[in-house]
Structure 1
Amino acid sequence: MASSDSSPNTTTTPIFISANSLHSILTHNSLIQHFQSSLPKVSPTIHTPIRQSFEVSPSSSLLLMPSWSSSPSFPYMGVKLVTYFPQNSTLNLPGIHGSYVLFSSSTGQTLASMDGTVLTLYRTSCVSGLASKILARSDSKVLVMIGAGALAPHLIKAHLAARPSLQRVIIWNRTMKKARDLVEDFSKSDEYKGVCFDSNENLEEIVKMGDIHSMRECDDEALRRGRVFVDNEGAFVEAGELVGAFERGVIKKEDIVGNLVELIDGTKTGRKDDKEITVFKSVGSGIVDALAAQMVYENLQKLA
């Protein structure tokens, strides 16, 4: 893992990394590999408070996701800033805007500012792809993509990179209620033994954070029947399907088998056989934001 060349006696000129530049620097395969090799090493050294959400107006929000390292082997700190202005649709503007700012954790100097929306699309999909690499059946042939928003193409590419055995992608683009009904059908039917459910954060729902119980992509039956994993412990308080399941007594926190780092380093066992149902819930974290930003920044430094 390369280190920043910033030092107290070095003046660093901050760089701006556009969305187009991120597309040219990142690939889903390389970011999945970076997460797999770096997460177990870096996670114990990075401090990541629960994301902060502020109501700017009755309809708009500001979201902050900070993180910082306490280790010289990962000399970075950063913060993702996300704004949610749903009324922008009347102005033909996106409702969500994001930026990620990367700093040196040894000097505090600003190193880079980059498009936070695109960075989130890559890191979210690659966390999902990495989880499927561990939890899905090795002979998986079909990927069912529920939804066709901005994240969908990234999720498909990440899963194809993680699971070369995939031969077919089915896109189900209906209302959220119908999508949940489809998941419920999957979880109840014996025909779908061996399936790997992957539920990701929805950035629009995350920034609203008002009614966490409405943020559900997975039904109780799937949680009851499956072995459930999370990307990080933040899911215990931010994932609507888990929070609701805990309150209803469907499962307990102790029933969550493990997190992504434990799956990577082998502390917890992933899929045990071809018939069990595995469930992975991701809510995102500052750790994967920082790792993705580090990869982008250091790759650009190599080209300089």
Structure 2
Amino acid sequence: MENILQIDTDFIENNTVFSELIEALKNGFCNNKTLIPMRHHHDFPNPEVNADSTLLLMPAWNPSKDAGVKIVTVSPENGKFKLPSIQGTYIYFDAVKGSIKAILEAKSLTVKRTAAASALASYFLSRKDSSSMLMIGTGALSINLIKAHAAVRPIKQVFVWGRNIEKAQAIASALKHENFSVKAIKSIEEKIAEVDIISSATLSKTPLVFGKYLNPGQHIDLVGAYKKDMREADDKTISKSSVFIDTFQGGLKESGDIVIPINKGILNKEAIKADLFQLCSNNKIGRTSENEITVFKSVGHALEDLAAAGYYYNKFKNE
């Protein structure tokens, strides 16, 4: 039996080059051979914290090449225990023999591939000269989203907002050696109308991005709000923007940012411009003008996990 590699958080954190990971995801979305069933999404009660937790099972197969499944729990109240909301593992298989090649720590894998997917979308959707960014949210994704967006656009200024200003300041401090400036701000309204890219990664159930503040040419990256009753952008944001999603399979079903506007008649399913499969294969185009406002909604996809697992597995093997 082959040795099963254990790829931990430290390896993933220390060996991520976002430009490479973004390219790995792009290649994955271009490949029409990968089989991705709809992910299992199970909410279950967690009475101790008076809030539901979620179990996600996300399988994917690239026939005769590789396969994998991610097993993850999302517990929004984990802040009470000083733990991340996402916990889990990724099992990476040999698709021919069915043997396990590696077990990867899923939280870091998820954070990295999610940030890379947003940056991949930004490559098609944000203006090429985008140099400023507002990061809404101070969780594990925030630093990675900033770095990933900076890998595809010439970011010079970043503003960070969180409900806790000290957490926003901690992110600014952690990124002080990057090639861009980072500043914590006390309110979203301070900068939302001025920046080129707005990225939001929160568990908010009420909008934080309001369309009344948006200006022509901006790109909005919505990464949080993973349930139907959660949303980060209001109706006006959706109605005045060109809307793109990571995949039609999950994007139309799982997030309130898309589901609620569709149910209210504000967004027509047919009006959604494209998903990452169509953008990466050049079947659809992204931004069409300098003045267009674009919205990208990410809910996550098993293909992203499989592509990222292969990326880290190959790096680990080639050390």
Partner of 1:230: 245
Q: How many equivalent residue pairs?
A: 276
Q: Distance in 2 between matches of 1:261 and 1:157?
A: 23
Pair 1:35-2:25 in alignment: yes
1:15-40: CA deviation from partner (whole Å, max 9, x where unpaired): 11110011222221210111123321
Q: What runs of 5+ residues in structure 2 fail to find an aligned partner?
A: 165-186, 189-205
1:37-82: CA deviation from partner (whole Å, max 9, x where unpaired): 33211x442223233224264456452323232522xx22211112
Partner of 1:67: 59
| Aligned residue type for 2:247 | N
Pair 1:152-2:176 in alignment: no
CA 1:89–1:227: 2 relative to 1, 3 Å: closer
1:95-151: CA deviation from partner (whole Å, max 9, x where unpaired): 532111111121111111111000011000000011111100111121111111111
CA 1:88–1:34: 2 relative to 1, 3 Å: closer
Partner of 2:192: none
Q: How does 1:156-195 map to 2 (within 5 A)?
A: 156-163=146-153, 165-174=154-163, 183-184=209-210, 187-189=211-213, 192-195=215-218
CA deviation after TM superposition for structure 1 residue 237, in Å: 0.4
CA contact (8 A) 1:67 1:286 kept: yes
Moved more, 259-268 or 48-57: 48-57
CA contact (8 A) 2:207 2:232 kept: no
TM-score w.r.t. structure 1 length?
0.83
Partner of 1:216: 231
Q: Per the alignment, in what secondary structure is the counterpart of residue 52 of structure 1?
A: strand
CA deviation after TM superposition for structure 1 residue 89, in Å: 5.2
For 2:219, which of 184, 196, 200 is the aligned residue?
A: 196
1:191-238: CA deviation from partner (whole Å, max 9, x where unpaired): 611000110135xxx4xx4xx22x101111111111100000111000
Q: What runs of 5+ residues in structure 1 fail to find an aligned partner?
A: 1-10
CA deviation after TM superposition for structure 1 residue 263, in Å: 1.1
TM-score w.r.t. structure 2 length?
0.80
| Aligned residue type for 2:39 | I
CA contact (8 A) 2:61 2:68 kept: no
Which structure carries more relative contact order (alpha carbon 8 Å, separation 6+)? Answer: 1
CA contact (8 A) 1:28 1:157 kept: yes
| Aligned residue type for 2:236 | E
Q: Per the alignment, in what secondary structure is the counterpart of residue 296 of structure 2?
A: strand
Runs of 4 or more consecutive aligned structure 1 residues displaced over 6 Å after TM superposition = none
Q: Distance in 1 between matches of 2:44 and 2:2?
A: 34
Identity %: 33
Q: Distance in 1 between matches of 2:232 and 2:77?
A: 25
Q: Distance in 2 between matches of 1:246 and 1:86?
A: 25
CA 1:90–1:117: 2 relative to 1, 3 Å: same
For 1:20, which of 6, 10, 13 is the aligned residue?
A: 10
Pair 1:48-2:37 in alignment: yes
CA contact (8 A) 1:48 1:287 kept: no
Q: Distance in 2 between matches of 1:248 and 1:70?
A: 38
CA 1:103–1:62: 2 relative to 1, 3 Å: farther
CA 1:220–1:90: 2 relative to 1, 3 Å: closer
Q: Distance in 2 between matches of 1:248 and 1:86?
A: 27
Q: Per the alignment, in what secondary structure is the counterpart of residue 252 of structure 2?
A: helix
Partner of 2:318: 302
Q: Distance in 2 between matches of 1:183 and 1:100?
A: 33
Q: Distance in 1 between matches of 2:30 and 2:75?
A: 36
CA deviation after TM superposition for structure 1 residue 302, in Å: 2.3
RMSD between aligned alpha carbons? 2.2
Q: Distance in 1 between matches of 2:55 and 2:236?
A: 32
1:234-270: CA deviation from partner (whole Å, max 9, x where unpaired): 1100011111001100011111011012112211111
